[in-house]
Chains A and B, each alone.
Chain A
């Protein structure tokens, strides 16, 4: 079954404690991205990756890092989380053409106290 998985699904943490949210896809997609979803704002892209070792900033990259060492994995790293990063996070992947369907993971709800 084609899918994008994220872990953890829920996380409560404290300000400044480094965390990583993992994302993995089994469709051999080249393009992966991270979005955050906030009420009234829809989804906004944080970072994206065109392929292994190729990453770039999206619209709201401040406070986040990513890496793409393997094609299937695209972890999101918060080095020093702050309360304004409390949000619902989605990982997505697509085969690569702009008209292709993007497949989304189930989401990670993060609360930073």
Chain B
């Protein structure tokens, strides 16, 4: 079945460090790919998305590129802030299916 695998956490970084969270997927078709972020005590918010191969999604300094050849959608940010502390979820959806299939989530803590 369709699934998403993302790197396990927790990840602890210092402010201004570089962040990468790996995400790979398995899908029978051509999925749309998403990164959602969950701040403490809140629901999930869309961070960025890409709908076809080689698309790059970006938002709030975060970027991820849809790599069909490696079935990956790794999240990166060049300089993290304390306010980036959150749980990050990689997810996919397939054409004709409104369900999001999520990875397990990666907890990121940024220390001042």
A and B together in one complex: yes
**Chain A residues packing against B (C-beta within 8 Å):** 4, 31, 33, 35, 40-45, 48, 50, 58-59, 90, 92, 94, 96, 98-99, 101-102, 104-107
Q: A-facing mask of B73-106, CB < 8 A → 1, else 0?
A: 0000000000000000100011111111011110
Number of interface residues of B (CB under 8 A): 24
Are A42 and B46 closer than 8 Å at their CB atoms?
Answer: no
**B8 to A, closest residue via Cβ:** A40
**Chain B residues packing against A (C-beta within 8 Å):** 4, 32, 36, 41-46, 49, 51, 89, 93-100, 102-105
B43: chain A residues within 8 A (beta carbon):
4, 90, 104-107
Return the 10 tightest CB-CB contacts between A and B, nearest first. Answer: A42-B102, A104-B43, A104-B44, A43-B102, A42-B104, A101-B46, A106-B43, A99-B51, A99-B32, A98-B93
